[in-house]
């Protein structure tokens, strides 16, 4: 997936909330080098745009949570994808398949 994103002409978006999700484990284990490595990779990755949740995102997230019974932060991730016009959502969480606004690709099914 990351190789695909890095190719010229490709684009991906994610919420800044992704940083929160990725950094929990390194912070929990006090692996500061892993934290630095994650930042180095994530914040300099080509063709990856980081979107900060705003009020429009929060409102849509609440609607998605109410309708599709998503959990926060999943509802924010889905709202970010929809508002950015994403057509494919890459995840390991099948709950996103309930959302018809984009196609969901489950990584576990690729393995």
Give the CATH number, domain containing residue 10: 3.40.50.1010
| pLDDT for position 45 | 86
| Residue 48 in tokens | 């990856």
Residue 6 has pLDDT above 80, yes or no: yes
Residue 97 has pLDDT above 90, yes or no: yes
For residue 89, the enclosing domain spans: 2-110
Q: How many domains does the chain have?
A: 1
| pLDDT for position 43 | 84
Average pLDDT over every residue of 76-97: 96
Alpha helices in the chain (DSSP H): 2-6, 17-28, 32-42, 55-68, 74-84, 107-110
Residue pLDDT, tens place only, 27-70: 999 999 999 999 998 888 899 999 999 999 999 999 999 999 99
């Amino acid at each position: 997936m990351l190789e695909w994103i890095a190719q010229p002409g490709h684009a991906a978006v994610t919420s800044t909330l992704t940083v929160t999700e990725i950094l929990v484990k390194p912070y929990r284990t006090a692996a500061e080098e892993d934290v630095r490595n994650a930042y180095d990779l994530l914040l300099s990755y080509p063709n990856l745009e980081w979107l900060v949740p705003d009020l429009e995102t929060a409102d849509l997230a609440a609607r998605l949570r109410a309708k599709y019974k998503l959990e926060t932060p999943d509802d924010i991730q889905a709202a970010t994808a929809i508002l950015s016009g994403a057509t494919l959502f890459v995840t390991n969480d099948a709950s996103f398949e309930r959302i018809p606004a984009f196609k969901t690709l489950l990584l576990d099914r690729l393995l």
